[in-house]
Amino acid sequence: MREYREKAAWSQGELARRLGVSRQTINAVETDKYDPSLPLALRMAGLFGLEVRELFVDHWTPEIEG
């Protein structure tokens, strides 16, 4: 997310204000210390004009049975 925020030339404080959360939350998400809720992830992605899966990487893959 840091990459997209920096592309938009927003500080963490600016992004926090736009999303209605604390700067601590933005910092924790960017440093992988906190996974945002689905509503916040949707808002974050929407703000950058992206899909959630473009903004957040999940390395989980489903196990295939049989």
Residues found near another protein in the complex (CB under 8 A): 12-13, 16, 20-25, 27-28, 31, 33-34, 36-37, 40
- For another protein, the closer of residues 32 and 65 by Cβ is 32
- For another protein, the closer of residues 18 and 23 by Cβ is 23
Closest distance of CB 8 from another protein, Å: 18
Torsion 17-21-24-29 (CA) sign:
negative
Q: What phi, psi does 41 have (nearest 5°)?
A: -60, -40
Identify the CA nearest to 58 among candidates 6, 38, 39, 27: 38
- For another protein, the closer of residues 41 and 63 by Cβ is 41
